[in-house]
Structures are given as C-alpha cells and as structure tokens.
Amino acid sequence: NAGVTQTPKFQVLKTGQSMTLQCAQDMNHEYMSWYRQDPGMGLRLIHYSVGAGITDQGEVPNGYNVSRSTTEDFPLRLLSAAPSQTSVYFCASSYSNRENTGELFFGEGSRLTVL
C-alpha cells in the first residue's frame, strides 16, 4: 500500500518557469490538499478538494492551480515561479474532511527552490 505519493522530491526552478507537482493516493480518500511549510510558520493550506471535480482555495492560493479529474490524483501547478514560492510542499489526504478524526495522511514532501 503506497499511501500518498508525491513527485518530484526536489526541484530547482528559475523565476518565471512553470512546473507541476504530482500527488497520487491509493486509499480512495475523498479529501486531498496541498500545503506549504516554511520555517517558523505553521503549515499553510494552498488548495484542497473534497472529491473528484471539486476544488477550492485555501489560505495562500495565489500563483498556484489545481485540478481533480480523478479521486486518486491531485496535481499542483506553479504558473510562473517566484522566489517567494521556495518552500517544502506537502500533499495530504483523508477519508473525509468532515468525519470525526479527519486524520491526514501526508506525502513525503517536495522541496522546491526558485532562483
């Protein structure tokens, strides 16, 4: 059972370049989300999805796009990378955001550096 798989683990971009972070889960989870983690700050929600075909913005959505064409996949696209997007990105999923536990399962993270 792979859980949540994120790729790539490391990426260096130049300002203005675009890229996609891939995320896939094999647990049939309805809820998927993308977070960024920066030193001294809590995890910040970028975008999330409560099911296939449904996406919504989180706390810091600017500069990022997402889509959810299948239950399994939730890619995050950086449209035109900026140095402020240098961060560690985590994809996370859960069975349902509204259940009692709401326990999140995280991918291993993607460390992105924008020069």
Residues near another protein (CB under 8 A) are 40-45, 48, 58, 90, 97-98, 100-109
Of 28 and 101, the one with the shorter C-beta distance to another protein is 101
CB of 16 to another protein, least distance (A): 29
Local structure of 56: helix, strand or coil: strand
Q: How far is it, in rounded angstroms, from Cα 2 to Cα 92? A: 13
CB of 88 to another protein, least distance (A): 9
Of 7 and 17, the one with the shorter C-beta distance to another protein is 7
CB of 49 to another protein, least distance (A): 13
Of 18 and 56, the one with the shorter C-beta distance to another protein is 56
Q: Is the backbone peptide bond immediately before 61 cis, with ω within 30 degrees of 0?
A: no
Sign of the CA dihedral with 82 first, then 64, 94, and 97 last: positive
DSSP category for residue 15: T
